[in-house]
Homo-oligomer: A and B are copies of this chain.
Amino acid sequence: MGPVTATGPKQDRSRATRQRLLEAAIACLAEHGWAGSTVAVVAGRAGVSRGAAQHHFRTREDLFMAAVEYVGDQRSAAVRDLLPTVRQILGPARTHLVVEELVGLYTGPLFRAALHLWIAASDEEPLRTRVRELEARTGREVHRMALDLLGADEAQPGVRETVQGLLDMARGLGLANLLTDDRARRERVVSQWAGILDGVLRRPG
């Protein structure tokens, strides 16, 4: 017999409710910002009673931290799943695909939601400390994933900072997409810098 875990219809329903709340929280935050995103608004959007929402998340901060973490992990996992595919692609085409996917992590509703949370957290303890820790952890994971996807060797001098700068650029591109649909310009920047990056990663030193 394996370990006893909570399964069955009741637990499934509870897990589904939790997921609906987390996804509704991201959509709310992306659309209405921090000030407009209360537990009541999220519960309403998820079609869940406010009591049920508070059963899952004790505070508003708990709900939004969990939402950014959950949706972020999901999105990262989807990009990480590309690894077997990109390993079969050679040279510049691999780098281009990987840069495109990494930049894609920062240009959707999740990044928009995360940005609202960062800004709200930037002058509000203890949210600031919690968001900073989550960001540090997420940043390390995306960095490691980027190395794997690019097939880059961090033992080579400069590779670490090269990949960090790439991820900073990805976040900057996400920011530029906040007020306008920046897709066309972004694609040109991604093509150009994927080419540059490919040259750098092949000619280390």
A: residues with CB less than 8 A from B are: 31-33, 35-36, 112, 115-116, 118-123, 128, 131-132, 135-136, 158, 161-162, 164-165, 167-176, 178-180, 185, 188-189, 191-193, 195-196, 200
Contact = CB atoms under 8 A, between A and B. Distances in A.
A150 to B, nearest CB: 15
Chain copies in complex: 2
**Pairs of residues from A and B, 9 with the lowest C-beta to C-beta distance, nearest first:** A172-B172, A168-B172, A161-B192, A171-B172, A169-B169, A165-B193, A165-B189, A132-B179, A119-B119
A175 B175 contact: yes
Given A36-B123, A162-B193, A171-B176, 15 more contacts: A32-B123, A33-B120, A33-B122, A112-B122, A118-B179, A121-B179, A135-B179, A136-B180, A161-B189, A164-B185, A164-B188, A165-B169, A168-B175, A172-B173, A172-B174
Nearest to A158: B192
Identify which of A136, A179, A180 gathers the most chain B CB atoms within 10 Å of its CB.
A179
A178 B165 CA distance: 16
